[in-house]
A and B are shown apart, each in its own frame.
Chain A
Amino acid sequence: GESVGLHLPTLSVQEGDNSIINCAYSNSASDYFIWYKQESGKGPQFIIDIRSNMDKRQGQRVTVLLNKTVKHLSLQIAATQPGDSAVYFCAENRPGGYNKLIFGAGTRLAVHP
């Protein structure tokens, strides 16, 4: 299908390496954050979430780090695989917004064998 975000920043990594995708969020009052993965022709797929009362959360091969001081979020993917190639979005939820997620612009992850 047509690629989303043709001019997105791209992170290129070798298969087996660890990947770190960064995201700066805009609102210091945001209290909930999600990382999504979007493959070509598909909808965003939930990866992992974190609340603002936490600094770190781990999933299977993924870790999300939250630094509220500098309003920064990162997604770490261990032992990156070709199937991890996709566009990754962070999203923030602002209090009182009834789960109205504000999405970042996205980062394209390209995994090379």
Chain B
Amino acid sequence: DSGVTQTPKHLITATGQRVTLRCSPRSGDLSVYWYQQSLDQGLQFLIQYYNGEERAKGNILERFSAQQFPDLHSELNLSSLELGDSALYFCASSEGQGAFGQPQHFGDGTRLSIL
């Protein structure tokens, strides 16, 4: 058990809808990262937050947004969903900002299926 909690485990919704994925980091970790994993593209970094502030952005679509709250949990919001958004979404956390590299610990993900 990594200590990172993601909810829900599964989400099934339709095109055009909006969903929110939730992540609670490991106790003591200040950074939260979001990744997308699809069958044909592997693990893709989306965005990082550190202590409530956005730190780094990857290939995150404009339809997607995230935030980190004062209690350090994070939410990833996906809107105007398309079939291609079907994927596993992972949250990871680490102790610091990770400027010099440090382990990220992953939750078990949310499987999003768009019908």
A residues neighboring B (CB under 8 Å) = 1-2, 4-6, 31-32, 34, 36, 41-46, 49, 51, 89, 91, 93, 96-106
Contact = CB atoms under 8 A, between A and B. Distances in A.
B105 A46 contact: yes
Nearest to B99: A98
A106 B45 contact: no
Interface of B: 2, 4, 31, 33, 37, 39, 42-45, 48, 50, 55-56, 58, 88, 90, 92, 94, 97-109, 111
A98 B4 contact: no
Nearest to A43: B106
Contacts of A97: 56
A97 B111 CA distance: 27
Contact of A43 (B2, B48, B98, B99): B2
B85 to A, nearest CB: 16
26 contacts: A32-B101, A34-B103, A34-B104, A36-B106, A42-B108, A43-B108, A44-B43, A44-B90, A44-B106, A45-B2, A46-B2, A46-B103, A49-B101, A93-B98, A98-B50, A98-B98, A98-B99, A99-B31, A99-B48, A99-B56, A99-B97, A99-B102, A99-B104, A100-B58, A103-B43, A103-B44
